[in-house]
Amino acid sequence: MDFFALEYLTNPNKRVFWGFLLSSFVIALICVYIKKDKTKKILFSSKLWWHPSARVDYIYFVFSYFIKIFMIYPIVVSAKTIALGVNSYMIEEFGFHRASLLPYETIMILYTVSLFLVSDFTRYWTHRFLHTIPFLWHFHKVHHSAKVLNPLTFYRIHPVENILFGFRYSLSIGIVTGVFIYFFGAMLSVFDVFGVNIFIFIFSLIGTNLRHSHVKFTYFTKLEKWLISPYMHQIHHSTKHFDRNYGGYLAIWDRLFNTLTLSKDVKTMKFGLRKEQMKDYDSVIKLIFTPFLTLFKRKQI
């Protein structure tokens, strides 16, 4: 268990890396003291951190780690495999391409930006499909069943959804990498900080963990038309706005496809599913099996 905790707290590729948690905590303190609203009481309340929903998050966080190790990772194709396949396909279809003579730094910038944009775009559509395709929504409900939000709510993801996002990641990263290998050669690297794409690192440092919290951390309205603020993701978790703000980091996809709601337009929120549904998601066992049982019952009707 100590190894498990250390892996997440010391790895900058994890959302709950200690540096990201610390920066989010500092931002949260600044927000609650500047705004002087009831968020301060909520932030330090045992009713939040020891809420039954939060306790399920803590247990599920540990449980999901082992699901990923033994069930998900073995079946998800790696981005490297896809990259090599894409490169081979392009060579077969278009012949060998002499590597571009662009400066190495220019290629790094292009590759870093391309990875970020393509990954964020595919994340938007995967997330949107999880809401709009009825079959997938049954599994995504698990994430939206959280009555209160905390950083570990991020990991309240059904294994089926984890598999889907695993393939999304491998495909998006693999395709981009394969194309870049074809045009620029195999010596690729990204601008990173501690091994993390610099864009992801910056977003994580400026409060990504507050997306799953009760801290109203907003951006300026003009900026929110470009970037998803933590409060905008909280809006997505509210019972009345499930179909808004699907974006991961960039708001441009929501704006382009008419699913954007700005912070200024939502003042109060209630998290979770409909009251009569919540009893089906109040334990780890129910989080795993409720989607399957629901689908089975519908098939029987």
HEC profile of 221-244: HHHHCCECCHHHHHHHHECCCCCC
CA distance 246 to 182: 32
Poorest-pLDDT segment among 27-31, 85-89, 157-161: 27-31
Asked whether residue 21 carries a pLDDT value surpassing 70, the answer given is: yes
CA distance 124 to 250: 9
User: What is the average pLDDT across 181-196?
Assistant: 88
**Which tokens belong to 40?**
């301060």
Record the pTM. 0.93
Top pLDDT among 151 and 74 is at 151
Q: Which domain holds residue 14?
A: 2-300
What is the tens place of the pLDDT at every residue in 256-270? 999 999 999 998 899
Top pLDDT among 185 and 160 is at 160
Residues 53, 59, 60, CA angle at the centre, nearest 5°?
85
Domain count, the chain: 1
CA distance 33 to 215: 11
What is the tens place of the pLDDT at every residue in 36-56? 666 777 777 888 999 999 999
Provide the pLDDT for residue 5. 64
